[in-house]
């Protein structure tokens, strides 16, 4: 499986050469391919809200929607210091996309587009370029907010749709700067919903939108729109054996964007609640086979975490069910604060809806019997 968290068209200028400092985690590997002209493509091999649904269509064509909204889509270029294998200091430039979020000059993009940025410039559709400042960035959702020093005449914000109302098959439009080709539009459909991708800090991003609208290096941070011209997601990753578009792209949903952007604008940061366990789903088939209940099986408990403090128990073994290894011998979480939990994804979403410092009551199946465990959540660590 290959996805990308693009630093699109990354160029490293140094006296004697170029180098990329790349990290990998969570069973993933990262590499850089240097092409002609000194371009370095980074590829990761991985494991206005309203009552109308986002699925609604107005009969507008892609061309009509493009004319109406493209002015709010911007190209973002960031610069940061870069060393070389020879000890030289150079300048590394990375390019991505974004869109105007409000009339105060806030622009939404990906965390990975601005990560490490020392300077930010934002190019608008009229060709004007304005300085930007990173207000805040959240690696756990791969979202960031930039404050742009631009005149009101170019600040025409896009509205957000309710991504919970999306349906598979709904039309999608992506606008951005693939390979630096600004104001490029592609169209497709919602191919799937509730996908999961890996964030830059190796935690999971849930409820991600999958689309076949063509997304390439440089689209990162740009909007995925519905056929009303409203943002349904922020384009973030693709899956590809070659590193180029093959019709499987992923966008962080607009409801996540709205929640995270408001926190970044108000405080400059986001804190996510943290339990401190590895988990796997107990499916209905596995539950029947092993005389368990559907839920989130704990596969490991990280030391020094809320889960460890509350003596939650990790699996001690596994059993093969329908060709899948199922954790056994540990706690299976089946409820949180009285709400039923039937999978690992449901538990992750429930924890993410909490805040650090919240105390939750977990119902766990332990040695075949239900028990209540009280846990006080902490802030998620940086990685």
Task: Give the pair of three-digit tokens for residue 150.
Answer: 């631009």
Helices (H) and strands (E) in the chain, counts: 6, 26
CB 347 within 8 A of CB 333: yes
Residue 254 annotated to the active site: no
Catalytic annotation, pick one of 3, 115, 142, 201: 142
Residue 217 annotated to the active site: no
CA distances from 174 to 154, 234, 279 (A): 20, 9, 34
CA gap 57, 271 in Å, rounded = 36
Catalytic annotation, pick one of 3, 97, 106, 112: 112
Question: DSSP string of 76-144?
Answer: EEEEEEEE-TTS-EEEEEEEEEEEE-STTSEEEE-HHHHTT-SEEEEE-TTS-EEEEEEEEEETTTTEE
Q: How does DSSP classify residue 227? A: T
CA gap 100, 126 in Å, rounded = 14
**Residues in a beta bridge with 189:** 171
Helix residue spans in the chain (DSSP H): 62-69, 111-114, 254-267, 284-290, 306-309, 344-352
CA gap 327, 268 in Å, rounded = 39
Cβ count near 267 (within 10 Å): 11
Sign of CA dihedral 305, 310, 316, 320: negative
CA gap 11, 324 in Å, rounded = 44
Residue 317 DSSP SS3? strand
In terms of Cβ atoms closer than 10 Å to its own Cβ (0-12, 13-18, 19+), residue 153 is exposed
Residue 111 annotated to the active site: no
Catalytic annotation, pick one of 220, 236, 254, 281: 220
Residues involved in catalysis: 112, 142, 220
């Amino acid at each position: 499986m290959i996805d990308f968290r693009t630093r699109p068209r990354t160029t490293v200028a140094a006296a004697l050469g170029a180098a990329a400092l790349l990290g990998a985690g969570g069973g993933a590997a990262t590499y850089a391919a240097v092409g002609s002209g000194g371009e370095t493509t980074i590829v990761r091999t991985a494991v206005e809200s309203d009552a109308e649904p986002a699925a609604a269509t107005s009969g507008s064509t892609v061309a009509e929607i493009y004319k109406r909204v493209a002015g709010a889509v911007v190209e973002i270029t960031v610069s940061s210091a870069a060393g070389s294998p020879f000890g030289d200091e150079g300048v590394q430039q990375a390019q991505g996309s974004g869109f105007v979020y409000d009339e105060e000059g806030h622009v939404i993009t990906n965390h990975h587009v601005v990560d490490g940025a020392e300077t930010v410039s934002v190019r608008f559709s009229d060709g004007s370029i304005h300085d930007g400042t990173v207000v805040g960035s959240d690696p756990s959702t791969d979202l960031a907010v930039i404050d742009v020093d631009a005149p009101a005449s170019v600040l025409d914000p896009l509205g957000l749709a309710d991504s919970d109302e999306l349906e598979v098959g709904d039309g999608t439009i992506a606008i951005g700067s693939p390979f630096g080709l600004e104001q490029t539009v592609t169209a497709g459909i919602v191919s799937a919903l509730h996908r999961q991708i890996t964030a830059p800090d190796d935690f999971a991003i849930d409820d991600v939108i999958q689309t076949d609208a063509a997304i390439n290096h440089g689209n990162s941070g740009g909007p995925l729109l519905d056929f009303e011209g409203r943002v349904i997601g922020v384009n973030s990753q693709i899956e590809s054996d070659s590193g180029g578009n093959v019709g499987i792209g992923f966008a962080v949903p607009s409801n996540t964007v709205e929640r995270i952007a408001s926190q970044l604008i108000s405080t400059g940061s986001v804190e996510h609640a943290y339990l401190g366990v590895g988990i796997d789903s107990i499916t209905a088939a596995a539950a029947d086979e092993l005389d368990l209940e559907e839920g989130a099986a704990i596969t490991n408990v990280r030391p020094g975490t809320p889960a460890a403090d509350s003596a939650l128990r990790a699996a001690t073994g596994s059993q093969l069910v329908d060709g899948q290894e199922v954790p056994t011998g540990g706690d299976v979480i089946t409820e949180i604060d009285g709400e039923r939990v039937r999978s690992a994804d449901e538990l992750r979403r429930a924890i993410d809806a909490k805040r650090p410092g919240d105390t939750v009551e977990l119902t766990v199946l332990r040695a075949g019997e239900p028990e209540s465990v009280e846990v006080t959540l902490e802030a998620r660590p940086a990685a």
